[in-house]
A and B are shown apart, each in its own frame.
Chain A
Amino acid sequence: MTELKQRILPTVQKPARYTGGEWGEIKKDLKDVRLRVAFCFPDTYEIGMSNVGMRILYGVMNKMDGVWCERVFAPWGDMEEAMRENGLPLWALESQDPVKDFDMIAFTIGYEMAYSNILNMLDLAGVPLHSRDRHDLKNIVFAGGVCAFNPEPLADFIDFFSLGEGEESTVEIVSLYDRAKAEGWTKETFLQEVSKIPGVYVPSFYRHEYNEDGTLAAIVPLNGAPETVTKRIIENLDTAFFPTEMIVPSTEIVHDRANLEVFRGCIRGCRFCQAGFSCRPVRKKSPEVLYQQAVEIMEKSGNNEITLSSLSTSDYRGLKKLTDELIPYCADNKINLSVPSLRADNFSRELMEKLQTVRKSGLTFAPEAGTQRLRDVINKNLTEDEILNTCANAFSGGWNNVKLYFMLGLPTETDEDVLGIADLVYKVIKTWKEHAVNKKRGLRVHVATAYFVPKPHTPFQWEKQITPQEYLRRCRLLKEHFYSKSIEYDYHGPDLSRLEAVFARGDRRLGPVIEAAVRNGAKLDGWDEYFNYAKWYDAFRECGVDEDFYTVRGYGEEEILPWDTIDVGVTKKFLKLERKRAYEEKVTPDCRHGCAGCGASGLLKEVACDA
């Protein structure tokens, strides 16, 4: 007779995402395994399998003797329903064993909208949601990823956080657990010991006290915990672990290709960008190592596409050398090489043309703001001339498809700035008319505006978010000024970005809200099919929490911030200075034109910042 899970699979969409068994999956014999880690990605298989960080840490942990790390993803709604109906607890892909049988449960969190999925996955696994209700060493829950840079909204649920890059710290954490398990430590003892590993933050070791107006009065470290916890970084990327034996999904995922990270950090300093500040300092990887890894990964995976990734790939010094070698290799082997995150200002025609010999990909710019004044405020050092020149180059090279991304609601933004977006778009159209080699196909300009979300650890971390009504007014204002048939304008409703803003700068009082929302059925909030603000609205009301406190209020510069315990290397003093320069409409040159003194180089001991 066919077992339960096999009977459910034919009834759900894309069943292959629940079965494991892909090329490159790591299986171990349980008799050689002392410690099992369920590595959870709080979104679907298609999203999670596209995440490079997870692939790296999966490899790191499985390389450890006696440790078996398996993957777990959030089920789609149809599968969740079947699981709940049949009492089938959440399982890990490799062994198909229930998550609750695992020693450690890890989450990687890259997006605030995944918070509901974390709770929902723990619930589906049959693991208590609250840290305080999990008494044993078994099922310890820890998390990392960019959202760990303000972990407070999750403080009730996650036992400890691993801050920053995990190639080394994960090994230290898992080894300590191995010892704790062998020696029979209590959970308390383990938390005490793990908090001594640099980069580990144990939220229960801090008491948050509030003023009457709701702002933080104090963050009190307990049990001798340090005042601040500094994120971890890898100094030498050439020798750091990188998985050249990747899992090749048997079903299509979002980024179905090999991904090679060319460097870490960013020299640009766009003032709204969390990654730009929290991923500093800049560390390079050598083109020789990258080429070797590219060839190895392509041969072992059989992929037909590889992407060179980083926050701003044009700023990678070895780009010419690397692409000079990779382009012929890719052409010979019918591999599509994609190089996203190229900047308009140094997106050379040469590289564009060379990439074109393999396959023509789209042209995308993110000017973020419509006027030079506002681009100076946000320090997006991209001029109109640079955009139009690059477009001219591209149009004369045969491109006829441009995507332009902007934000609405940036600090100091006026209607003039909003209409500046329309102006810029018309200039792009004009440029096309002047330079297009083939006008028959027509031009498509895809314009998208996002609702600005102030993020922690950026110069805009204190800023107000504009109200949803005001955001929509600006969207409509812009829409009224788009007449051309070539323009396709997209804007999302404000709810998701509003919620993202709440959690990005949230504090511990949001824990009950997340829990209530999940109880109301919130899940897969990053998906239009599931996102429903009403569930969250009710949760906020149930818990007596006002969204506006975290969004339109704005934070005072002297206020204690929920994420003050977390040190990402960039100093608060620098962020304040950058904020002041923003209001003065002064740009700060990129790090290569002179160190602005952000402080992140202080994280380096062996090498210098490669900005």
Chain B
Amino acid sequence: MSIFKLAWRSVKQRPLASILTMISVALGVALTIAIVSLRDSAHRSYHETSRGYDAILGPTHGSPLQIVLNTMFHVGDAGGTLPWATYERAKNDKRVKYAVPYAVGDYFRGKPVVGTSTAMFEALMDPENVPLGKNINGVVFRDGVHFEAVAGSIAAAETGLRRGVKFKVTHGPEGGWEHGEEWTVVGILRPTGTPADRAIFIPIETFYEVGDHKTAGDQRKKRREEREAEEEREREHGHEHGADTHTHEDDHGHEHGTKEELGLSAVGIRLKSPILRLAYVAEFKSDRATVQAVMPADQVRQLFEVVGSVDRFFELTAWLIVLVAGIGILVSLYNTIQGRRREIAILRAMGATPRHVFAVIVLESVILVVLGGLFGLVLGHAGLAMSAPYLVERFGVLVRSGFGTLDLQVMGALAVFGLVVGLLPAWRGLRTPVAENLHPTE
């Protein structure tokens, strides 16, 4: 008859109290596992996404974080536009492997419609490092003026888009006017757990073919030509000029189309080697007048430094639940000692030393906490596994749930915690007077 068996029998002897105690521990542990796993999944998702590009070229008006969030996570607005020539220049740069243009501002049923190129489907990867374009039900749209579209999995599910369906886009997320052009869905991305799941992608050339965009471009062209004519007249009359504030130095000498007039929101850059990253980004620091280059990994890291305290708050809350459950065990065990004085006295009469009694009670506490913890781990992982499809569909967070190092750490911590929680009841137990509790009637 081992000490463990005695402790285990004692736990089994009070099934209701033991089960309720274990459930309280299990709920705390399940919550902790869920929070930590979700946080880690979200962090991983953001960091993996941010690794898609070495740099993003964006407008100087926007903050670096705004540029990253808008370009890679399809959140917020672009904060301005870039000259189209910036994209052309990046595309022709020998150090650049992929230059991916982005034009945003249109929506379909609340989901962002992103004008881009097929390069995006090669440059960006899913968590298994498979290019987005290889993980598609259908095909990627063709570059050029082809009114074809690829929808992310969540965007497709929530808007009802399927292959072959035609749709029109609106200007702005809510209450915007509808453009007249129609795109046909040629591919649906499989769920990737990346922000691409939540967006709809069209060839950037078709973005500029939208009638309303053309009109806006024409108006800008007219205003620019009038301004240039005025400047020409002033020069002919020998007036002195101040500093040239024209920012389209590359546009001189060729006719402006809509894309030159409207520009684009950002350009995602994947370099041929990450070693080139710092030097590449540094070049744009001297050219801040028109373009800024930001490193998405840096921005995401800074973002999580800010929101990290919120994460920690939630994690702390979950651990507090475990702590409260542990205190519940302490109170419960401590109170049962009063009713177990005779049992303890019998053990002592059989030759158990105070140390044996102490060990039995501490072990009971460890058993309750560890079993509750194991139940909590199973509950937490099962909950995550069951909610994973919903989480990836609703929030785009790919939860990878499975037993791992975290679980071992949690179980180790719980065993120590159970031991600590059992100390006070055990101390009370070992002080039980033996003789007067063996014969309660005398």
Q: Does A associate with B in a complex?
A: no
Q: Which residues of A contact B (CB under 8 A)?
A: none
Q: Which residues of B contact A (CB under 8 A)?
A: none
